[in-house]
């Protein structure tokens, strides 16, 4: 069967649905093709099932891209306040967690219901279980699925990144971009736990489950949040954040006692010894972790000079991750369709008229904390307004 639309959107995730809604509200006839059996599967598992749908402190600085200016225009034209207004229109109860992160009180299903209801209102037609087999360009675009053909003058690629392949992530968007001659910035897993190897692994991984507030640093990037020891390495928000900036082979630095000095208590103690050192970590690190770290990194001596050096070591613990846990555990894919190929106002390809890329498939990656959905809403809206 042949269907004719004003625009076909590939991918029924956050960005694709939002784009379709915006275009539908403007009177465009829009089809969304989703290969899974339902839309928004990733939304459902996001934010631990409660969907961290935006962040009230969202700024362009919260995004990683080869072109740090690219996201500014779209982010300015669809803000967290705009999405919050939509959430409130649908009477979805939500709450603020740390660092400006907004979550649903009940479940991420509320956000999916919101998107479905807006799709209905805007007349968007959603085709699930639609596996795209070919995309051709004639005067417009022709998209072939197993049973149907969709024709439209505009094609929006919103097929997401490579993270969580078992949920349906595919290379599709990148391959399509390449097919039309667009460049891709090399992709890598982002917001992903680190794997430790060798000594680091044998020294710490049996403490899996232990967490502490730290400052994780890599190059000039600094995140003060929780770090969690896992069976294979390190995780927790501080580590996930830094992982998006990490290049394989580089070390990371961890401050184990942010804003605190550990050695004054040792210097003041009656006996300067391991017991005094262990006690000095109280309030900074869980006891088991402090003991283990001390076993592996005792001060060279107990005199003032050695303690000064040791204090520095506590704030600059150098770890060499062997790798990350890869796309299986990554929340996002960094890299993607090169922003130099796209209009920052509309997300349309500068080379191929009528071809748009939005959401995670584009080389714009948000930090942890609701920024990736805000990019999906904002880039989807930018394209939806141009269809």
Contact between 172 and ligand FAD by CB under 6 A: the answer reads yes
Q: Give me the 18-47 binding string for ligand FAD, x by CB under 6 A, dash otherwise.
A: ---------------xxxx----xx--xxx
Residue 329 interacting with ligand FAD (CB under 6 A): no
Q: Report which of 160, 195, 50 is spatially closest to residue 112, judged by C-alpha positions.
A: 50
Whole-angstrom distance, CA of residue 177 vs CA of residue 240: 28
CB of 233 closer than 8 Å to CB of 201: yes
Binding-residue total with ligand FAD (CB under 6 A): 36
Using CB under 6 A as the binding rule, whether residue 276 contacts ligand FAD is answered as no
Does residue 176 interact with ligand FAD by CB under 6 A? no
Q: Which one among 8, 23, 51, 185 touches ligand FAD, defined by CB under 6 A?
A: 51
228 touches 203 (CB < 8 A)? no
Site string for ligand FAD, 145-164 (x = CB under 6 A): -------------xxx--xx
Place of tokens 């997300």: 347
Q: Specify the residue, 75 or 257, whose C-beta has the smaller distance to ligand FAD.
A: 75
Closer of 161 and 299 to ligand FAD (Cβ): 161
Token pair 């001659």: residue: 181
Residue closer to ligand FAD, measured from CB, 262 or 358:
358
Place of tokens 């907004």: 102
11 touches ligand FAD (CB under 6 A): yes
CB 62 within 8 A of CB 334: no
What residues have CB less than 8 Å from 293, skipping those under 6 apart? Answer: 256, 281, 285, 317
Least distance in Å: CB of 46 to ligand FAD? 3
Shortest separation between residue 271's beta carbon and ligand FAD, angstroms: 49
Task: Please report how close the Cβ of residue 124 comes to ligand FAD at its closest, in angstroms.
Answer: 14
CB-nearer residue toward ligand FAD: 42 or 188: 42
| Residue 239, both tokens | 């580590």
Q: Is 112 in the site for ligand FAD (CB under 6 A)?
A: no
Residue 13 touches ligand FAD, criterion: CB under 6 A: yes
Distance CA 345, CA 351 (A): 15
In angstroms, what CA-CA distances link 242 with 46, 131, 315, 362?
Answer: 19, 35, 16, 20
* Parallel/antiparallel/unpaired status of strands 141-145 and 132-137: antiparallel
Is 299 a binder of ligand FAD (CB under 6 A)?
no
Between 45 and 207, CB nearer to ligand FAD: 45
Which of 8, 14, 71, 382 binds ligand FAD (CB under 6 A)? It is: 14
Q: Does 189 bind ligand FAD (CB under 6 A)?
A: no
Instruction: Spell out, one character per residue from 349 to 368, where the chain touches ligand FAD: x when CB under 6 A holds, - when not.
Output: ----------xx--------
Cα 39 from Cα 21, distance rounded (Å): 14
Q: Does 10 bind ligand FAD (CB under 6 A)?
A: yes
Q: Is residue 376 a contact point for ligand FAD (CB under 6 A)?
A: yes
A 10 A CB-CB count for 286 gives 16
Pairing of strands 194-195, 323-324: antiparallel
Subset of residues 113 to 152 that bind ligand FAD, contact rule: CB under 6 A: 132
Q: Does 331 bind ligand FAD (CB under 6 A)?
A: yes
Q: Is 151 helix (H, G, I), strand (E, B) or coil?
A: strand
Distances in whole angstroms, Cα of residue 339 to Cα of each of 65, 67, 209: 8, 7, 39
Q: How far is CA 204 from CA 227, 234, 239, 243, 265, in A?
A: 13, 9, 15, 19, 25
Nearer CB in complex with ligand FAD: 19/277: 19
Instruction: Identify the residue among 214, 215, 280, 332 touching ligand FAD (CB under 6 A).
Output: 332
Single out the residue of 65, 370, 385, 386 in contact with ligand FAD (rule: CB under 6 A). 370
Output the smallest distance, CB 118 to ligand FAD, in A: 15
**How many CB atoms sit inside 10 A of residue 75's CB?**
24
User: Dihedral through CA 308, CA 314, CA 320, CA 324, nearest 10?
Assistant: -160
Distance, CA of 134 to chain centre:
29
Asked if 174 touches ligand FAD (CB under 6 A), the answer is no
Q: Which residues bind to ligand FAD, rule: CB under 6 A?
A: 10-16, 33-36, 41-42, 45-47, 51-52, 132, 158-160, 163-164, 168, 170, 172, 331-332, 359-360, 370-373, 376
């Amino acid at each position: 069967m042949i269907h004719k639309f004003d625009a076909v959107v590939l991918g029924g995730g956050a960005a694709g649905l939002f784009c379709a809604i915006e275009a539908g509200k403007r009177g465009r006839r829009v089809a969304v093709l989703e290969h899974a059996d339902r839309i928004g599967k990733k939304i459902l598992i996001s934010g631990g099932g409660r969907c961290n749908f935006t962040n009230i402190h969202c700024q362009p600085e919260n995004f990683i891209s080869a072109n740090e200016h690219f996201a500014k225009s779209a982010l300015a034209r669809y803000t967290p306040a705009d999405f919050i207004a939509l959430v409130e229109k649908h009477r979805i109860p939500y709450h603020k967690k740390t660092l400006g992160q907004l979550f649903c009180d009940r479940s991420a299903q509320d956000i999916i219901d919101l998107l479905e209801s807006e799709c209905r209102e805007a007349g968007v037609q959603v085709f699930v279980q639609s596996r795209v087999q070919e995309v051709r360009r004639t005067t417009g675009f022709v998209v072939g699925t197993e049973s149907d053909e969709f024709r439209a003058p505009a094609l929006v690629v919103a097929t997401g990144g490579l993270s969580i392949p078992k949920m349906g992530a595919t290379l599709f968007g990148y391959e399509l971009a390449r097919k039309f001659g667009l460049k891709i910035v090399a992709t890598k897993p982002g917001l992903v736990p680190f794997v430790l190897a060798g000594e680091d692994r044998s020294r710490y991984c049996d403490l899996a489950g232990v967490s502490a507030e730290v400052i994780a640093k890599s190059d000039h990037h600094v995140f003060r949040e929780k770090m969690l020891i896992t069976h294979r390495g390190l995780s927790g928000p501080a580590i996930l954040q830094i992982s998006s900036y990490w290049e394989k082979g580089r070390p990371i630095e961890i401050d184990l006692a942010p804003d605190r000095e550990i050695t004054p208590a040792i210097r003041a103690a009656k006996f300067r010894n391991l017991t005094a050192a262990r006690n000095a970590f109280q309030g900074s690190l869980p006891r088991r972790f402090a003991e283990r770290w001390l076993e592996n990194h005792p001060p060279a001596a107990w005199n003032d000079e050695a303690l000064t050096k040791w204090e520095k070591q506590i704030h600059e613990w150098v770890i060499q991750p062997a790798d990350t846990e890869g796309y299986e555990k990554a929340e996002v894919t960094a890299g993607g369709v090169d922003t130099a190929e796209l209009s920052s106002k509309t997300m349309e390809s500068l080379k191929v008229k009528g071809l748009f890329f939005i959401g995670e498939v584009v080389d714009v990656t948000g930090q942890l904390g609701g920024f990736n959905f805000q990019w999906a809403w904002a880039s989807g809206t930018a394209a939806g307004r141009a269809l």
